């Protein structure tokens, strides 16, 4: 049965009340939201309410950001992250409202045409992100047409002849354009999701070609994207038809999370424990992407999502009874609860940073990670609570103009936390990044600040600037003297040249 928007909102309201039946009245979603202490169960129920009533648009689409300035749409990784958040909620609670919600989403699932056989101005990662999300929907609703949609979306890339080219044709270009623009980059977003989509489809159909493709692509990913010394995957390879070179240590939460889950799926399907061992090694190495308090730090601006990493950690915690994954979820959720917006509609991108300031535009790429964390934490520890002390409201705020022409630039401070604030998408939709060194040391992830990567759009397709955005945040267990250095980024075909414009810094005493 398909429900209309009014019926869906009524179902959500009833569900939130029932889910919070054991919570105190202050945790009920109907009360004013905010970063007040509450249980993970209460915050998870509030998160589901926000996803269903604030991010979902009647008419089967999702908002790029909260506010009238942003478009709504039904495809690609931001949208897919919210579908996957609802899948995660259903997986942990069997919530019937999620079933009704995803049945409402099904008619708008992206369904692509025939595979590209000549340059067709198409992207390879988008249909594969969508194929995985459609399979999540199928897991919840059991609608048989979802299998066809997901298989067709997968085949757009798997049966194409325009992506698997270049000096390393074993991995796929991100774009196939007739004008030749941006056809140098190969992204793990494509190939990790190709593996996972194949395995989710194989689990339902047992088509041997799917398992064979997944195994072949997995070997290619390990060969091309795996870091030379760490059990983490960089997300970009530059293939200029004569050589293939990694853009080193761009460790997307999404791509590494998808590879972890793909490894578990392959291990289950083949009985080969090596796949699970690879996934476990990546899970363990995620700790290298945390600040000194052990809180994961996502350095991407608007081109990554954290939900796949949370879902992979949840699989380890539940299916394999993995204590490290369980601790990672609960520790990060306890911190992330304090970066919830005052109205409860979103979460900040940096789980150990300050909450978005009032009036800051919240985007779907930033919000999904916090939602996923609180839902996972609610399943593992429903009566658990966030960190009691949120020090950011007491941070000192200083106007600090740091621009590209000043790089390299070092400044010193004494404190237990630092956040740098500026405008995401200040000058363009893509180029512009800078490295960050902490106390003279490069971070494990070399992304630094990629300030101009803004993928939100207005209804007319324009790129809105996102002022007052947290560009970087980092915390220590105790106060002390520290230095931050912003250094020029090396120009490359994906991230472009150097760019940074910090406008304010916040320092926790």
pLDDT of residue 37: 46
pLDDT of residue 143: 98
Residues 397 and 475 in one domain: yes
Question: Tens digits of per-residue pLDDT, 378-393?
Answer: 999 999 999 999 999 9
Question: CA nearest 158: which of 138, 172, 148?
Answer: 172
Residues 133 and 248 in one domain: yes
CA gap 337, 210 in Å, rounded: 40
pLDDT band at 329 (very low <50, low <70, confident <90, very high): very high
Question: Tens digits of per-residue pLDDT, 277-289?
Answer: 999 999 999 999 9
Residues 130 and 269 in one domain: yes
Q: Does pLDDT of 16 surpass 50? A: no
Residues 385 and 413 in one domain: no
Q: Domain count for the chain, please give it.
A: 3
Q: Is the peptide bond before 137 cis (omega within 30 degrees of 0)?
A: no
The verdict on residue 91 lying in a domain is yes
Residues 261 and 343 in one domain: no
Residues 372 and 405 in one domain: no
E strand segments, 83-202 = 122-123, 175-176, 185-187
Domain boundary among 366, 390, 414: 390
Residues 317 and 409 in one domain: no
Q: Is 434 exposed, middle or buried (0-12, 13-18, 19+ CB in 10 A)?
A: buried
Question: CA nearest 194: which of 119, 278, 124?
Answer: 124
Four-residue CA torsion sign, 472, 477, 478, 482? negative
Instruction: Map tokens 């199928």 to a residue.
Output: 138
Residues 126 and 99 in one domain: no
pTM of the model: 0.92
Instruction: Please check whether residue 470 is in contact with residue 422, taking contact to mean a CB–CB distance below 8 angstroms.
Output: no
Domain boundary among 272, 289, 306: 289
Instruction: Please check whether residue 77 is in contact with residue 366, taking contact to mean a CB–CB distance below 8 angstroms.
Output: no
CA gap 29, 6 in Å, rounded: 18
Enclosing domain of residue 134: 118-289
Question: Tens digits of per-residue pLDDT, 112-149?
Answer: 988 888 777 788 999 999 999 999 999 999 999 999 99
The verdict on residue 166 lying in a domain is yes
Question: Which pair of structure tokens corresponds to residue 318?
Answer: 């539940």
Residues 6 or more apart in contact with residue 429 via CB below 8 angstroms: 452, 453, 454, 455, 463
CA gap 94, 18 in Å, rounded: 13
pLDDT of residue 182: 57
The verdict on residue 69 lying in a domain is yes
Q: How far is CA 286 from the centre of its chain?
A: 14
Backbone angles phi, psi at 278, to 5 degrees: -60, -45
Domain boundary among 365, 390, 415: 390
CATH code for the domain of 411: 2.60.120
CA gap 109, 146 in Å, rounded: 9
The verdict on residue 400 lying in a domain is yes
Residues 92 and 203 in one domain: no
More confident residue, 343 or 233: 233
Q: Which of 38-47, 59-68, 335-344, 485-494 shows the lowest per-residue confidence on average (mean pLDDT)?
A: 59-68
The verdict on residue 481 lying in a domain is yes
Q: Does pLDDT of 61 surpass 50? A: yes
The verdict on residue 113 lying in a domain is no
pLDDT of residue 427: 83
Backbone angles phi, psi at 6, to 5 degrees: -65, -45
Question: CA nearest 501: which of 397, 406, 395, 366?
Answer: 406
Question: Tens digits of per-residue pLDDT, 164-173?
Answer: 999 999 999 9
CATH code for the domain of 153: 1.50.10.20
Residues 465 and 499 in one domain: yes
The verdict on residue 465 lying in a domain is yes
Percent of the chain with pLDDT over 70: 90
Residues 341 and 476 in one domain: no
Say what angle helices 40-50 and 77-93 make with each other, to 10 degrees. Answer: 140
Question: Tens digits of per-residue pLDDT, 263-318?
Answer: 999 999 999 999 999 999 999 999 999 999 999 999 987 889 999 999 999 999 99
Residues 270 and 147 in one domain: yes
The verdict on residue 55 lying in a domain is yes
Helix (H, G, I), strand (E, B) or coil at 192: helix
């Amino acid at each position: 049965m398909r429900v209309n928007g009014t019926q869906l909102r009524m179902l959500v309201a009833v569900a939130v009340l029932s889910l919070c039946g054991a919570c105190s009245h202050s945790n009920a979603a109907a009360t004013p939201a905010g970063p007040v202490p509450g249980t993970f169960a209460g915050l998870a129920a509030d998160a589901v309410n926000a996803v269903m009533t604030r991010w979902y648009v009647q008419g089967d689409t999702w908002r790029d950001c909260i506010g009238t300035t942003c478009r709504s749409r039904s495809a690609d990784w931001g949208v897919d992250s919210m579908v996957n958040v609802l899948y995660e909620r259903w997986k942990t609670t069997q919530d019937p409202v999620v079933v009704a919600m995803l049945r409402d989403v099904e008619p708008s699932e992206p369904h692509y045409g025939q595979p590209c056989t000549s340059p067709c101005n198409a992207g390879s990662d988008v249909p594969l992100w969508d194929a995985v999300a459609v399979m999540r929907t199928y897991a919840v609703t059991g609608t048989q047409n979802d299998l066809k949609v997901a298989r067709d979306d997968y085949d757009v890339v798997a049966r194409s002849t325009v992506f698997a080219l270049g000096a390393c044709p074993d991995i796929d270009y991100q774009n196939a354009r007739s004008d030749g623009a941006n056809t140098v980059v190969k992204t793990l977003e494509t190939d990790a999701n190709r593996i996972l989509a194949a395995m989710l489809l194989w689990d339902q159909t047992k088509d041997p070609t799917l398992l064979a493709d997944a195994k072949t692509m997995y070997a290619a990913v390990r060969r091309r994207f795996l870091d030379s010394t760490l059990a983490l995957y960089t997300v970009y390879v530059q293939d200029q038809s004569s050589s293939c070179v990694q853009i080193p240590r761009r460790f997307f939460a999404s791509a590494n999370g998808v590879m972890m889950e793909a490894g578990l799926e392959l291990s289950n399907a083949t009985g080969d424990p090596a796949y699970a061992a690879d996934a476990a090694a990546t899970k363990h190495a995620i700790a290298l992407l945390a600040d000194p308090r052990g809180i994961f730090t996502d350095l991407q601006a608007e081109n990554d999502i954290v939900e796949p990493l949370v879902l992979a950690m949840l699989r380890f915690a539940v299916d394999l009874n993995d204590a490290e994954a369980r601790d990672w979820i609960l520790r990060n959720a306890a911190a992330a609860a304090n970066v919830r917006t005052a109205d409860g509609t979103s979460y900040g991108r940096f789980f150990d940073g300050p909450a978005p300031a009032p009036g800051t535009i919240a985007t779907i790429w930033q919000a999904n990670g916090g939602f996923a964390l609180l839902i996972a934490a609610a399943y593992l520890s429903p009566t658990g609570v966030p960190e009691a002390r949120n020090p950011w409201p007491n941070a000192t705020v200083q106007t600090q103009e740091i621009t590209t022409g000043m790089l390299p630039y070092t400044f010193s401070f004494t404190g237990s936390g630092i956040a740098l604030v500026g405008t995401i998408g200040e000058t363009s939709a893509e180029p512009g990044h800078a490295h960050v060194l902490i106390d003279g040391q490069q971070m494990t992830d070399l992304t630094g600040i990629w300030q101009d990567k803004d993928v939100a759009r207005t209804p007319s397709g324009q790129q809105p600037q996102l002022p007052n955005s947290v560009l970087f945040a980092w915390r220590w267990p105790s106060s002390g003297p520290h230095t931050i250095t912003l250094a020029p980024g090396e120009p490359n075909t994906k991230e472009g040249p150097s760019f940074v414009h910090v406008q304010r810094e916040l320092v926790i005493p």
